[in-house]
A and B are shown apart, each in its own frame.
Chain A
Amino acid sequence: EAQVTQNPRYLITVTGKKLTVTCSQNMNHEYMSWYRQDPGLGLRQIYYSMNVEVTDKGDVPEGYKVSRKEKRNFPLILESPSPNQTSLYFCASSTLAGTDAYGYTFGSGTRLTVV
C-alpha cells in the first residue's frame, strides 16, 4: 500500500530534550515536506526537500532541522524542544512528474507535547 509513515503518533517530552520524528514513504516520491498544524492557523510548512541532499526552509523553520540522506526518509529533528513547539506535525510527499504529479500524500500525524 502506498503510504507515508510517521513515528511516533504521540510524544510527550520535556523542554530541551532532543527528539526525532521519523517519516518514510514507499512511493519513490522526490518531494517531501513537514508541516505543523495549530488551531486557527491551518497548516504551516516547516521544511521541504526536492530530492536527496536538497532541503530548504518553509514558513516556520526556527527550532527545527531536517535531513534527506535517502529518498524515502525525511526525519524532523528538534534539537532543543520548547513548549511553543507543542503541535500536530504532518509529513507529506509528492511526485513532481507524470499524471500523479502534485497533490500530497500525508502521514497520519505526530502529536507532540513539550512540557
Chain B
Amino acid sequence: AQSVTQLDSQVPVFEEAPVELRCNYSSSVSVYLFWYVQYPNQGLQLLLKYLSGSTLVKGINGFEAEFNKSQTSFHLRKPSVHISDTAEYFCASEGSYIPTFGRGTSLIVHP
C-alpha cells in the first residue's frame, strides 16, 4: 500500500525568501510522484510530476522538486517566493492508477 506524508501542515515564510515543502512517500512498487497547488476557492492544479528519468523536475511558477529514492522523498522548492504563492500544496503518489494524496501543506507568504 502507498502512503504520502507531508511533514509540515503549515509553512510561513517572508516574500522573496526560499522555501521547501517536504514530502515523503512509501510504496512497495515504483511510483509516480506529483505536486499540486490549490489556490483559495479553486480546484487543484498540477505543478510538476516525476515519472522517470532526471531526478530534478521543474514545474510551473518557478517551482522544482527532487526525487530521492534512497530517502523516499520528493521535496518541493522555490528559491524566491511571492505573495501570490500563498496556497495549499499537495504531494501525491500513484501506482497502478490509484493515487494517494498527502494531507496538504499551507504555504503562507508574508510581505
Contact = CB atoms under 8 A, between A and B. Distances in A.
Interface of A: 4, 31, 33, 35, 40-45, 48, 50, 90, 92, 96, 101-109
A35 B103 CA distance: 13
Contacts of A4: 43
A93 B101 CA distance: 15
A35 B98 CA distance: 12
B103 A107 contact: no
B94 A108 contact: no
Interface residues of B, number: 20
Contacts of B49: 102-103
Contacts of A41: 103
B44 A90 contact: yes
A50 B49 CA distance: 20
Nearest to A111: B41
B43 A106 contact: yes
Contacts of A43: 44, 90, 101
Interface string B60-84: 0000000000000000000000000
Contacts of A48: 97-98
A102 B43 contact: no
Contact of B51 (A96, A102, A107): A102
B43 A108 contact: yes
Contacts of A102: 32, 34, 49, 51, 94
A62 to B, nearest CB: 18
Contact of B97 (A31, A35, A42, A103): A31
Contacts of B11: none
Instruction: Across the A-B interface, give the 4 residue pairs with the lowest CB-CB distance, nearest first.
Output: A106-B43, A42-B103, A43-B101, A106-B44
A45 B99 contact: yes
18 contacts: A31-B97, A33-B99, A42-B101, A42-B103, A42-B104, A43-B44, A45-B98, A45-B99, A90-B43, A90-B44, A92-B44, A102-B34, A103-B34, A103-B49, A104-B36, A104-B44, A106-B36, A109-B41
